[in-house]
Structure 1
Amino acid sequence: MRAIFASLFTRLTGETGKALIRTFFAKAISAFGALALVVIVGRLYGPEGVGVFALAQSILLGAGILARRGMDNALMRFVGRESDSPRVRSYLYWAAWRSLWVSLPLTLMLIFLREPVAHYFAMPGLAEVLLGVGLAVPFYSWAFLLTGFFKGIRKPATGAFLENGSISLVTGALLLVVGYVLPEHGAKLAFLGWAYAVGAFFVALQGGAQAALWLRRHRMVTGVKSINAAEKTAFRGVSRSFFVMGLAGFMQTALSVMIAGKFLGSEQLGLFKSAQQIAISVGFVLMVINAIFPPRFAALYHQGEMDRLGGLARNGALLGIVLAAPFLLVCLLFPEWVLSLVGEGFEPAAPLLQIIALAQLVNVATGSVGFLLNMTGHERYMRNIALLCSSAGLVGFLVLTPWFGAFGAALALAFVLVAQNLLAMFFVWIKLGIWTLPGPNILKLLGVRPRV
């Protein structure tokens, strides 16, 4: 254990450590923005408003996943392997056009079908929020593509600023400003959707400007105008695997809310969403690690340095546990107090917060197992794990939510998080011979040998 901490300290004082610290603060701002928006919506509109917002945001998340189709993570992998290659610009532009051709029809669908969608969920106010949220889809998708690009060129902190939390931060600021200056407009739920569209636009615009400046400064990436057919085929194949993996994340963060929204009222849905969003703070550290390490995983595996790859993965998991522990303890010991920060009427979500926070601890403790598989050519195993766990989780939501309400939804979400990460950890050991969980290798003690 002393050797692990010594190795961890060495990395924290090196180039990786500096990137980790920068990304930690960037991710902290992003995570704060996502949580702050829930708090602002809760204080302005109450649990019912949080429920409507949660459902609208979940629909946006689903549209974004369909528009990107895994290309954000594929960019991180392909650009990360050779960030000084002339292909960098071509990969980014090609992914952007492929995303645009899907995001525009999705925008029109959300705008013209918003009334039937609101009727299906029987949730007043959803249609007016979806109008603005639908317009946010192209900008939202572009921002996430840029996130993968910046992670690939070793600028994870810049990429972290472009994710959902930054859009939420801008949205929350707009809600506060308009609510103060024009209270009659800020009090309307429809303004929430318009504020989100404006936030997505400005974050995407800022990210695009930064990417353009980087490409202009790095002349060596301007030499190739297009990528060949074989490279496009490989990129599409990796994107599909990441897309399936993204469906698991979609199920955990978006589809779960949609199913809960169908069986629960807006108030109960607001309680579930608030617990889910706060519990993400436990897994926030893993988001930081996943913003930095995956391109390094790809490079180390490509170079055949398996010992360094295993050490990096274990150090990341250990760091995640150490940094996540304070968030976990607060959520477990003082859940009512934490939920009271969102606003009045959220305290009944305390047991939901405790359940999801424990599941997030497993997520952090196992480390970046999903990215280890995806960045080392074993993406089909992660794809199958994601499909299996997502299907089982979907059944869990459909069965447990009608019976146990928001508590059942929390149980189903926790199951997906725990099962997916434990299975991925098992296959990382079997296929790579890497044990990510700090402490004794339980699988090795049980006689399970890697098949490297």
Structure 2
Amino acid sequence: MDANVLKKISATAFVKLGSGALLFFLTMFVSRTMEGAEAGAFLWGLSFMSAIAILFRLGLDSVIMRAVACGGVDEAAQATLYRGLIWILLATSIFLFVALIAGDALLELVWASEVVENPLQIMLLALPAMSCFMALGFAFQGQQRVVFATIFQNLGVTALFLLSFNALLEGGLIESTSREAEIIFVICSWIMLLFALVAWFSGEGVSFKLEALWDRRQLVASGNLWAVSCMNVLANWSAIVMAAIFVQAEELAYLSAAQRTAMLASFILSIVNTVVAPRYAQLWSSGKVDRVRSLARNSTRAMILVMLPAFSLVIIFPSEIMRLFGSGFEAGATLLVIMALGQLVNVATGSVAYLLSMSGHERDLKRVTFISGPISIVSAVFFTSQWGVLGAAIATAVGLSAQNLGALWMVKRRLGFLPIG
């Protein structure tokens, strides 16, 4: 791994660790300031919005990143971004209109609690903004501007929400309820979209120019990757969504806290992916397959070494870690261990999804996820209905492992090497 890549990974690590710490603190803050059912509703709503925002980016994340990584801010790359943003706005607007017409009948399909109001009644209003500023985050990632990429993929809205919610709470202007938090989150999301647009159009050589709203190549590529995104959501989030139907709102808080904490153990994967994904696209387009293989293997080995200490802490001290979220949260210790095992597989297999998507093998990635996706759905329905919140944790680990092991096999088949070799 060359010095330039290591330097960028170090810078990314600093920013990403800050983002991870904020997500952890957000979960802890909400769990400690709200009642159990209220905290469970809001944290579940955040998880649901994270999942649905992936779907409504329409598979354009990797398409935009690859275009900007290879073309910079040339006319074609910018057109790919602007076209994608318009598609996202159209899709989210249509969905919100349908949700408004259908009303509670649609939202109640994924929310069974009668104790707390459905958080999606308000939080869905953030969907267009979230989807767009995250798509812009991937454009910044393509430019390898890792600070902006991290801010607009997660860090910014989390920090702004925490600062705003805490300030209003301390000032006595709001109460610590899920409904108040949802309203503030929606406002923060739209503010972040404004910041993202200003940051992008402040760049050198950037201007809005779009000759055609439709592009067949972009449509095909994003279509394949959208199918992948759908299956990724099923692998990572179907059990969490299903849990809202089968378990109490308070248990959702335990599950959400365990999931977010387990993801911290694998945070190194997010750090490395931010840097190496656009690098894969550049090297592959230049025909430097040996350097792609070397970068993939070195980064995977480094990720495993970095993750093992964090994983060990989770396995040895799960109750103590969960107790940080408040009294009673130690009941989610087993959930944390199970989800951490799934994240271990996620890291140990390397950046397999990006290796396939950045090298133009979207269809092969789609084939993998069309197998792992149904496995995730069946696991989520069966395990969650049988064992409640414990089953949801098992289903999440199973779905994530199936997806990554399948993609690992496809990387070996198409690219000719294993990242863990």
TM-score higher than 0.5 here? yes
* Structure 1 counterpart of 2:170: 180
* Structure 2 counterpart of 1:354: 337
Task: Kindly provide the amino acid, as one letter, of the partner of residue 151 in structure 1.
Answer: Q
| 1:319 match: secondary structure | helix
Task: Kindly provide the amino acid, as one letter, of the partner of residue 226 in structure 1.
Answer: E
* Structure 1 counterpart of 2:405: 422
* Structure 2 counterpart of 1:281: 264
Go from structure 1 to structure 2 and tell me whether the alpha carbon gap of 1:19 and 1:101 turns closer, same or farther (over 3 Å shift): same
Q: 2:119 aligns with which of 129, 136, 146?
A: 129
What is the CA-CA distance between 1:222 and the residue it aligns to? 5.2
* Structure 1 counterpart of 2:159: 169
* Structure-to-structure mapping, 1:232-251, within 5 angstroms: 232-251=215-234
Supply the distance in 2 between the matched residues of 1:323 and 1:275 (Cα, whole angstroms): 20
* Structure 2 counterpart of 1:105: 94
* Structure 1 counterpart of 2:358: 375
CA contact (8 A) 2:47 2:256 kept: no
Q: 1:55 aligns with which of 15, 40, 44?
A: 44
What is the CA-CA distance between 1:186 and the residue it aligns to? 2.5
Q: Deviations over 1:198-249 (max 9, x none)?
A: 22122222211110111xx23xx659643696xx211111112221221233
Go from structure 1 to structure 2 and tell me whether the alpha carbon gap of 1:131 and 1:403 turns closer, same or farther (over 3 Å shift): closer
* Structure 1 counterpart of 2:144: 154
| 2:202 match: secondary structure | helix
Give the TM-score normalised by the residue count of structure 1. 0.87
CA contact (8 A) 2:225 2:362 kept: yes
What is the CA-CA distance between 1:175 and the residue it aligns to? 2.1
Task: Kindly provide the amino acid, as one letter, of the partner of residue 297 in structure 1.
Answer: Y
Go from structure 1 to structure 2 and tell me whether the alpha carbon gap of 1:192 and 1:318 turns closer, same or farther (over 3 Å shift): same
Give the TM-score normalised by the residue count of structure 2. 0.94
* Structure 2 counterpart of 1:190: 179
What is the CA-CA distance between 1:62 and the residue it aligns to? 4.2
What is the CA-CA distance between 1:111 and the residue it aligns to? 5.1
Q: Please say if 1:72 is aligned against 2:61.
A: yes
Task: Kindly provide the amino acid, as one letter, of the partner of residue 126 in structure 2.
Answer: A
Supply the distance in 2 between the matched residues of 1:275 and 1:201 (Cα, whole angstroms): 28
What is the CA-CA distance between 1:332 and the residue it aligns to? 0.7
Supply the distance in 2 between the matched residues of 1:39 and 1:247 (Cα, whole angstroms): 29
* Structure-to-structure mapping, 1:335-414, within 5 angstroms: 335-414=318-397
* Structure 2 counterpart of 1:320: 303
Q: Deviations over 1:153-210 (max 9, x none)?
A: 2213311111234322222222221221116x23232111111112212222221111
* Structure 1 counterpart of 2:79: 90
Supply the distance in 2 between the matched residues of 1:389 and 1:253 (Cα, whole angstroms): 11
What is the CA-CA distance between 1:365 and the residue it aligns to? 1.3
Percent identity for Structure 1 against Structure 2: 25
Go from structure 1 to structure 2 and tell me whether the alpha carbon gap of 1:165 and 1:395 turns closer, same or farther (over 3 Å shift): farther
What is the CA-CA distance between 1:382 and the residue it aligns to? 1.0
Q: Deviations over 1:358-389 (max 9, x none)?
A: 11111111110111011112111111111211
Q: Please say if 1:226 is aligned against 2:211.
A: yes
Go from structure 1 to structure 2 and tell me whether the alpha carbon gap of 1:109 and 1:228 turns closer, same or farther (over 3 Å shift): closer
CA contact (8 A) 2:346 2:404 kept: yes
CA contact (8 A) 1:128 1:190 kept: no
CA contact (8 A) 2:379 2:399 kept: no
CA contact (8 A) 2:239 2:384 kept: no
Q: 1:40 aligns with which of 24, 29, 36?
A: 29
Q: Please say if 1:260 is aligned against 2:243.
A: yes
CA contact (8 A) 2:39 2:178 kept: no
The runs of 5 or more residues in structure 1 that have no matched partner are 1-7, 442-452
Supply the distance in 2 between the matched residues of 1:109 and 1:57 (Cα, whole angstroms): 21
| 1:419 match: secondary structure | helix
* Structure 2 counterpart of 1:5: none
What is the CA-CA distance between 1:84 and the residue it aligns to? 4.4
Task: Kindly provide the amino acid, as one letter, of the partner of residue 259 in structure 2.
Answer: Q
Q: Deviations over 1:387-432 (max 9, x none)?
A: 2111111101111112111111111111111121112111111211
Question: Which has the higher mean CA deviation after the structures are superposed, 260-269 or 120-129?
Answer: 120-129
CA contact (8 A) 1:91 1:227 kept: no
| Residue correspondences, number | 420
Q: 1:310 aligns with which of 275, 283, 293?
A: 293
* Structure 2 counterpart of 1:445: none
Task: Kindly provide the amino acid, as one letter, of the partner of residue 312 in structure 2.
Answer: L
- RMSD, aligned α-carbons: 2.1
Task: Kindly provide the amino acid, as one letter, of the partner of residue 350 in structure 1.
Answer: A
Go from structure 1 to structure 2 and tell me whether the alpha carbon gap of 1:78 and 1:43 turns closer, same or farther (over 3 Å shift): same
CA contact (8 A) 2:37 2:115 kept: no
| 1:273 match: secondary structure | helix
CA contact (8 A) 1:129 1:192 kept: no
Task: Kindly provide the amino acid, as one letter, of the partner of residue 258 in structure 2.
Answer: A
